[in-house]
Structure 1
Amino acid sequence: MREAYNVELENLATKLADMSVQVADAMERATKAMLESDLELAEQVISDDALVDDARADCEEQAYALLALQAPVATDLRIVLAAIHAAESLERMGDLALHVAKAARRRHPEPVLPEDVQPYFADMGKIVVKLARRVEQIIKTRDIEAARRLETEDDQVDDIHRHLFSVIMAKDWEHGVATAVDVTLLGRFYERYADHAVSVARRMVFVVTGRMPGYSTEEF
């Protein structure tokens, strides 16, 4: 029984890691679609979001079954509870990629962003996709040091996000209010995506140590 239970726990972790890959791919494609006004790629991200939703439902169903049938305690209980919360955060990451793709579709064939701010979003896209791919490895390895480093890397996204406000508020901003709103919303999507990646990493720290690192209530 114990061996079978451990296999189920590992299967649950594998599903979460697979979700990390899904949402990393989604944001990578959504960013490319936005920067290159690629409608076909945007549509792919939009249609694939249902797969992320299904993956979350599958993870939660298995987690609740483990709670109901096995009554786990200690580390096992932490794994199951962390999986439920992590699946929610990963689904939100998929939703945020979806929002980026929908912006690309909405503005097509025109570009979503003016050329002078595109490099900021290209940088944020690279960083957040890297965070999501590192989350995959953290889930697999439960490397708490890697999980803690993730939060430092998230600061890069926060810095770019803050800088965007100074860009759109500058006196020489010439792209109008509607574009400023787009830049603000899209910047927020990337910032929140990174926050959710950090949230998942923190859950893995909780699994290993039994203690949740400090966080703001907005993130969870």
Structure 2
Amino acid sequence: MGSDWEEDDEAKMTKGKTYGIGSRESSKYVRVYEKGKQLGDKTSTWTRFEIEFKAKDIVIPFEVLQNPGEYFGGAYPICERFAQKATRIHAVKEDKVISADRYLEWVKKQFGRAANGLKFIFPELDKAKLFELIEPSHHKLPKSLAPEAYDCAFLKAQAIHEQPAFKPYKDPYYMYEYYENLEKQLEQQKHVNNEESYNNFIYDKFARLPISWA
């Protein structure tokens, strides 16, 4: 999978290749792809080896979540070699670096002319002063660089059982009741229209019958 498989020149293979083994509907599916190139690093050799387990004709034990490396290493003979060298922290750091590099390229491309315009308009200001002009008042980060994208400890999502109970919205202008009654009226009108259509249909059907039959 991927357009790089169609290239003969290795220098043009910049988007990354994906190789799948098995069926997505089977109990075990392997996906090998060039993660670094997928994230934008055209020269990266970072490759990910993923395995999907599905409870089709196998029983997946709970321990697969507690010790994923052991089950990964036992999935195929070659995986045992990878499992001994797997370092999750290194992968996360590399992902973060590549995302930052892509973001810098995007900022230069999107903001480059605006930055030159600011330097032209305010030639007396140095770079630090120019940055103060455009520095936002909040501390929000892009989703791709946010800490919660790499560490669940930073997630701010609230558990369902911790969410407050639903409270009906108090409408001071009674608009909710208005639309609720309007829906009821439309529903009643629909029944009336259906009944009228049915009566017209019956009339048209039997209107031509002989009077003696009626």
TM-score normalised by the shorter chain: which range applies? under 0.3
Q: Name the structure, 1 or 2, with higher relative contact order (CA <8 Å, separation 6+).
A: 1
Structure 2-normalised TM-score? Answer: 0.27
Structure richer in strand, relative to its length: 2
- Largest Rg, 1 or 2: 2
